[in-house]
Every structure is written in C-alpha cells, then in structure tokens.
Amino acid sequence: MTPDDLAQLHAAAFEFPRPWSAAEFASLLDGAGTFLVTEPGGFALGRAIAGEAELLTIAVDPGARRQGLGARLMQTFESEARTRGAETAFLEVAATNAPAIALYHRAGFAETGRRRGYYRLPDGKPVDACLFSKQIGQSDGTSP
C-alpha cells in the first residue's frame, strides 16, 4: 500500500482522532523500526525499537468490519514485532473507541494507564487516551 492508499483507508476508518495524511504516513514509513502489515481492507502500522513495539495505528475499511480482519492484523503485527526483537507491545486508544478497546482486550492487551484529556473532540470536549500493553516475547537473559 502506498502512503496515499493508507491515508485513504485511514480516512474511511476514522473521524476521531483525525485521519492521518499521506505525507504523515510517508514520514512514518521512512522512520527507523517502522513496519506495515496489510490485508485487503486493512492495515496495521507499527514500530519496533529496543525490545518494544508500538502499534501506531490500525485501520479496517468500514465495509470489512466484524469479519476478523482486525484480529488477524493484530496477530500479524505481534508476529512481526517479535521477529524484530520486541518483547513488549503497547498502544494508545481514545477511551470512546469501544470497538478498538474490545479488539485489544481480545488480543490480550491490558489497560496500563490513562492520559487524561489527551484528545479533543471537534467540539472541544476532552477525551482520555487509554494506554494498553502486552508481553509478546520472552527475554533470553542476554540483554543488559
């Protein structure tokens, strides 16, 4: 998927927080440790550095929802993160995004914190960011 494709799908999947632009995707894809996993109708963008993986965003086309695509993307994200040496994965999500929170719980993530009022709705109302994490690999004991 090109940055334009990613931005188009992200815009279809998100109204809040605001969808990311093609330029933002291009910049992220050029970053160290960044990786993209895709399936028709969806993608997950992550970054793995120093034993940690961050799910930057995941998007599923509204017409492809409730068919297991999000779960498959999460599994592929975790597998790729482990391949890149990650032992822990983390993410953040708006507290109002119940479908995403349910997906993350089903994938084994647990809420580990909150950023109060981190997001702002278009009307200015604050929304918390929920922080989630999950152990995805085992340390081999050789890391400092």
Helices and strands (DSSP H and E) totals, the chain: 4, 6
Could you tell me which of 90, 89, 85, 91 has the C-alpha nearest to residue 50?
Answer: 85
Dump pLDDT digits (tens) for 41-59. Answer: 999 999 999 999 999 999 9
Dump pLDDT digits (tens) for 57-74. Answer: 999 998 888 889 999 999
Could you tell me which of 78, 90, 72, 68 has the C-alpha nearest to residue 137?
Answer: 78
Give the confidence band of 141 by pLDDT, cuts at 50, 70, 90. Answer: very low
CA distance 43 to 57: 8
Which residues are marked as active site? 92, 104
**Run of H or E including 110:** strand 110-120
